[in-house]
Structures are given as structure tokens and as C-alpha cells.
């Protein structure tokens, strides 16, 4: 047992569980000092906000940066993931979401799994997100909003939106970009969200840097814009069960978005964090 | 004395004071049923969100709707305004800000008085906003963020932004529109806001429908987008001291934005609310 019975029950009931202060301020600092260089690299792995200036997300950083590689294999993340999914796991997706002070834009209401099913051929929602807070997340800096229990609805099938970004709708933009911009490809419509909130209520995650949020791939979530002077950087490592590997799809997304390296992760015995 | 000594002191120290549940649910209901018709009227008094569909604000409603006229003269608003400003007052501006569920956009960090000084020739910041909540304002629906005590800085002189709205920058748009869109004409820059938050901290207003927030014309405030399923409609009545009437300006804004009827308001003895 890595998580307590109560934590496991919370996860099952609500679709998420918060583990406060898993990482020390020193460990968080080691990660934060890596960010300026990572954010400055103009590669396809980097997604900008719609205004074209601020970094919104960077993908696949665990493959190129040893600090974040260490995080992705850290027992604090891997062991709960294995425990909840009931199997060995591999790293399916790794991203840093910046939600920058004054600039971080919204994430529309969505479930993650529908992207992974429709775009990547993942057979079952047997994946888990481990979100690591590199900054305090408070009521001011665009905290995560969650509809607790909404994972019980299963995958809510929504029609893919056409490419909706006016300023980013350049022909050179890759098709996959609409999974990561402020106008999401598989966002839930307003009536669905209103009905779910009526049924389950709504909550927000407020926690200090170093905390970890584990959340289900079918939980309905969103986050508002960040108009505060406080950055709100998070890392999201998605673990997939090794029993749940991707089926073939016509247009596979790049490896830095969706790994097809199904090698199970062994939790590090010694972290460099 | 209409406000308590403690309330007056809070206003002086923080630049705002919240008066919970001044209006009953029945009174709020009487106002809310008026909104669909008001919001449906395509007039220059109505400002849309940048997407061009959702109502953002409607101005000057107290001149055309008897329920809101009654609100604008209600003793619950007029008496505290007179008490704080230390004189008789007239109605300077009246607006309904909709901040609609799923659509309400941000208000950038700003002080109100700079608009009134630069656009309308108001000599001193001897005005007060009475904000009436027609919906509960909570952490989810784009609550007002305030930098408490920031009114003590006086008017922070910022350079007017050029017309910044791409989608709304049509030649037919009146000059005054940039005082009411998501890209404000006199917004504070990021360094200023960060410094002020460091100095004074930051708070948010969370209160139930029917509450009234009185706030200073130099308080620095903003509000984030509303991605929740909950509307967040507020009415803001701005009272100006009759000793502080507008000096002549080259291009006066329309009467429905800035009244030049300096007739002092007598608080209603009997409200129709």
C-alpha cells in the first residue's frame, strides 16, 4: 500500500485526490530553475498562447531534461499511479503547463481521455494524471476547476470542433495543435457542463507548490485565465497501464506528445531532485 | 449615521466595504426579470463581448427602466454614498455588467477615476461606486479582485492605450467603447500591478445576491473570465458629489455614459422594488 485506504476511496469517489507537499521547496526550486531555458526553445514541442508571445505548454520535456526525467520516474508519482491503475505503467504524456502571470489563458471544460481515445487509439481510460504544482495554486492565478465524481459518467462523446483559432489558424499549424490551445478540439458544450455541475457540484484545487494532484482521465475539468501577478506552472505526467497500449490510428501524433515507448517505468531508487 | 463607524473605517482603510444582503431575494428577482428585455435591445448603450454575441454591459438603464431607476435612488445606496462623500450626490454613471456564464470576459487591472478625469473632466476622485450583486459572486464566476488600500496611491497616471481590439476595431465603433471592452484604454501595466500586490496584497469579493459593495474610484481592481455555468450580473451605480461636477472637455461622452444632470438625488421614501 502506498496510498492510504482513505486516499484510494477519495480517488474512487471523486475522481481525484490531492497529496499535499510531496516535494520539498528545494526540489521545486531545482525544477523551476530549468524553466527559462525550456520555455525559450522555439520547437514544435512548445505551444504559445493565442496572443503568440507567452508560453502555454511544453511537451515531452522528460526526454530532453534530466531533472524532469527524474520527476517522471519519481516514486512519489509512479507508485500511486501503479497502485491506482493496478498494473505496471509507462509514461504516456509529459507536459509543462505554464499559465503565466497576467497572460495564462483558459482551458475549456473537457475530459482528457476522449483525446487519447480518438487521436491515439487508447482502448480504455486506464490512465492517470499526476499533476505536480511548481507554484502555489490559489483563487487568483487560474486554479483547476473540477466537477467531482464526473469520471463516473465515462467518456462523454462530443463531436470534434473544427479548427477554431482565428489567429493561430495558419496552414502551417499541425493538426494536433487544437488539443492544446484555448479552443479545444473536444470541449464539452455548455448544457452538458451545466447539467454535470447541477448533478455533482464544482470544486477548485488550491494547494501549495510541491503538492501532487492525481486525477482520472475522465474527470471533467477546466481552468480560468490567470490575470494575477502570480505564475501558476504545473507539470502533468500521464501514466498509462502497460495493459492498455495504443491501437493503430491513421495519423499518429508525434512521439513527444504521445509516447509509444511502452517500457514499464521502474520507480527510481534515488532521485536527482 | 447610516454606516457604522467600523464600516466607515473599513472603507477608509481598504477603499471598499461590503454590505451583505441589503436587498431581499424578492427585490433581486424584480430586477432580474427585467434583464432579458434590456439585454435584447440593440442600442449604442449595449456593449458586447469581443466575440460579438454575449452582452457585456448596458449603460444608462436607470433612465429608461423604472425598476432600475428606483434602484438608483434607493436609500440603501444613496445614503451611504452621501455619508462617505460628505455631500449631496448625483447619479454620474449607471451600468449593468453581465459577466455571463461561460462567456463573460475579463476586466483588466484599472482604476475608475482616471477614465472620469481624462474623458469627462471630473476634478477630484470624490465619487463612489455602489455595486449591487444580482447573482451570488463566488470563486468560480469571475469575482471582483481588489488590491485593498490601493486607493491611497491616488490616481496612477497611465498612458492611454491605442485602440486594441482587433475584432471590434471597426471604423464605426465610437471612441468611448475602449472604456468598456476587455482591452481597456487606461489599464495598469504588469509591473505596476505586481508592485501594488506586493505592497498591499490582493483579495476577492465573494458574496450573495443582494449584497452591496461600496468602492473608491481610485481602488485598483480587475476580474477574471467567467468559465462557470453561473451568471454573475452586477449593477454599478456611480455617485458623484455635487461639489465635483465635470469641467468642460473637448469631446464629451454620451449622456447615457456620463450624466450631466447634476440634480441631487433625494433618497426615495418608498421604493417600488
**Is the distance from CB of B205 to CB of B143 less than 8 angstroms?**
yes
Q: C-alpha distances in angstroms, A25 versus A32, A99, A131, A211, B157?
A: 10, 20, 16, 10, 39
CA dihedral A34, A35, A41, A42 (to 10 degrees): 160
What pLDDT, on the 0 to 100 scale, is given for residue A170? 54
pLDDT category at B272 given cuts 50, 70, 90 is confident
What pLDDT, on the 0 to 100 scale, is given for residue B170? 54
What pLDDT, on the 0 to 100 scale, is given for residue A171? 56
What pLDDT, on the 0 to 100 scale, is given for residue B181? 78
Averaged pLDDT for residues A242-252:
95
Residue pLDDT, tens place only, B96-133: 999 999 999 999 999 999 999 999 999 999 999 999 99
Residue pLDDT, tens place only, B35-72: 999 999 999 999 999 999 999 999 999 999 999 999 99
What pLDDT, on the 0 to 100 scale, is given for residue B178? 77
**Is the distance from CB of A186 to CB of A114 less than 8 angstroms?**
yes
Averaged pLDDT for residues A144-149:
98
Q: Collect all residues of chain B within an 8 Å Cβ-Cβ radius of residue A202.
A: 140, 228
pLDDT category at A240 given cuts 50, 70, 90 is very high
Q: Which residue has the higher pLDDT, A167 or B81?
A: B81
Q: Collect all residues of chain B within an 8 Å Cβ-Cβ radius of residue A204.
A: 139-140
**Is the distance from CB of A56 to CB of A180 less than 8 angstroms?**
yes
What pLDDT, on the 0 to 100 scale, is given for residue B211? 98
What pLDDT, on the 0 to 100 scale, is given for residue B33? 98
Choose among A109, A139, A228: nearest Cβ to B139.
A139
Q: Is the pLDDT score of B172 beyond 70?
A: no
Per CB distance under 8 Å, which residues of A are interface residues toward B?
Answer: 101-102, 106, 108-109, 139-140, 142, 145, 190, 193-194, 197, 202, 204, 222-229
CB contact under 8 A, B194 and A106: no
DSSP H/E element including B146: strand B145-147
How many angstroms separate the CA atoms of A182 and A104, rounded? 10
Q: Which residue of B has its CA nearest to A109?
A: B227
Choose among A190, A222, A229: nearest Cβ to B194.
A229
What pLDDT, on the 0 to 100 scale, is given for residue B176? 76
Residue pLDDT, tens place only, A18-49: 999 999 999 999 999 999 999 999 999 999 99
Residue pLDDT, tens place only, B218-243: 999 999 999 999 999 999 999 999 99
What pLDDT, on the 0 to 100 scale, is given for residue A40? 97
Give the CATH architecture of domain B5-243: Sandwich (2.60)
How many angstroms separate the CA atoms of B98 and B226, rounded? 10
What pLDDT, on the 0 to 100 scale, is given for residue B1? 72
**Is the distance from CB of A50 to CB of A237 less than 8 angstroms?**
no
How many angstroms separate the CA atoms of B112 and B146, rounded? 13
Q: C-alpha distances in angstroms, A137 versus A16, A20, A47?
A: 16, 12, 21
Number of Cβ within a 10 Å radius of residue B95? 22
How many angstroms separate the CA atoms of A254 and A261, rounded? 12
What pLDDT, on the 0 to 100 scale, is given for residue B164? 53
> What is the per-residue burial (b if ≥16 Cβ within 10 Å, else e) of A112-150?
bbbbbbbbbebeebbbbbbbbbbbbbbbbbbbbbbbbbb
Q: Collect all residues of chain A within an 8 Å Cβ-Cβ radius of residue B204.
A: 139-140
3-state secondary structure of B193: helix
Number of Cβ within a 10 Å radius of residue B259? 21
Q: C-alpha distances in angstroms, B127 versus B2, B67, B116, B215?
A: 18, 23, 10, 9
**Is the distance from CB of A152 to CB of A175 less than 8 angstroms?**
no
Averaged pLDDT for residues A206-223:
98
DSSP H/E element including A32: helix A25-32
Name all contacts of B120-125 with Cβ < 8 Å and 24+ positions apart.
B120/B246, B120/B249, B120/B252, B120/B253, B120/B258, B121/B246, B121/B247, B121/B248, B121/B249, B122/B92, B122/B240, B122/B244, B122/B246, B122/B247, B123/B244, B123/B247, B124/B241, B124/B244, B125/B151, B125/B154, B125/B155, B125/B216, B125/B217, B125/B218
Averaged pLDDT for residues A231-258:
96
Name the percent of chain B lying above pLDDT 70.
96
Averaged pLDDT for residues A260-269:
93
Lowest mean pLDDT among A110-124, A174-188, B19-33, B40-54: A174-188
Which set of grid coordinates corresponds to residue B158? 497611465
Amino acid at each position: 500500500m502506498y496510498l492510504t485506504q482513505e486516499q484510494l476511496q477519495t480517488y474512487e469517489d471523486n475522481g481525484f485526490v490531492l497529496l499535499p507537499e510531496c516535494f520539498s521547496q528545494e526540489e521545486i526550486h531545482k525544477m523551476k530553475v530549468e524553466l527559462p531555458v525550456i520555455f525559450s526553445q522555439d520547437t514544435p514541442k512548445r505551444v504559445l498562447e493565442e496572443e503568440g508571445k507567452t508560453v502555454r505548454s511544453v511537451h515531452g520535456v522528460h526526454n530532453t531534461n534530466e531533472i524532469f526525467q527524474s520527476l517522471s520516474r519519481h516514486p512519489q508519482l509512479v507508485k500511486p499511479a501503479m497502485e491506482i491503475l493496478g498494473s505496471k505503467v509507462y509514461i504516456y504524456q509529459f507536459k509543462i503547463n505554464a499559465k503565466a502571470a497576467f497572460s495564462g489563458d483558459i482551458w475549456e471544460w473537457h475530459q482528457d481521455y476522449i483525446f487519447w481515445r480518438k487521436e491515439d487509439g487508447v482502448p480504455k481510460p486506464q490512465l492517470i494524471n499526476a499533476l505536480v504544482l511548481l507554484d502555489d495554486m490559489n483563487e487568483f492565478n487560474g486554479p483547476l476547476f473540477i466537477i467531482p465524481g464526473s469520471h463516473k459518467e465515462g467518456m462523454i462523446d462530443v463531436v470534434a470542433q473544427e479548427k477554431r483559432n482565428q489567429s493561430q489558424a495558419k496552414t502551417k499549424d499541425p493538426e494536433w495543435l487544437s488539443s492544446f490551445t484555448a479552443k479545444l478540439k473536444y470541449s464539452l458544450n455548455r448544457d452538458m457542463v451545466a447539467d454535470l455541475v447541477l448533478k455533482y457540484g464544482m470544486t477548485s484545487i488550491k494547494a501549495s507548490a510541491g503538492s501532487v494532484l492525481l486525477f482520472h482521465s475522465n474527470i471533467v475539468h477546466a481552468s480560468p485565465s490567470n490575470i494575477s501577478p502570480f505564475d501558476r506552472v504545473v507539470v502533468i505526467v500521464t501514466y498509462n497501464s502497460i495493459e492498455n497500449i495504443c491501437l493503430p490510428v491513421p495519423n499518429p501524433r508525434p512521439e513527444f506528445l504521445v509516447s509509444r515507448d511502452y517500457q514499464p517505468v521502474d520507480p527510481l531508487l534515488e532521485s536527482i531532485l
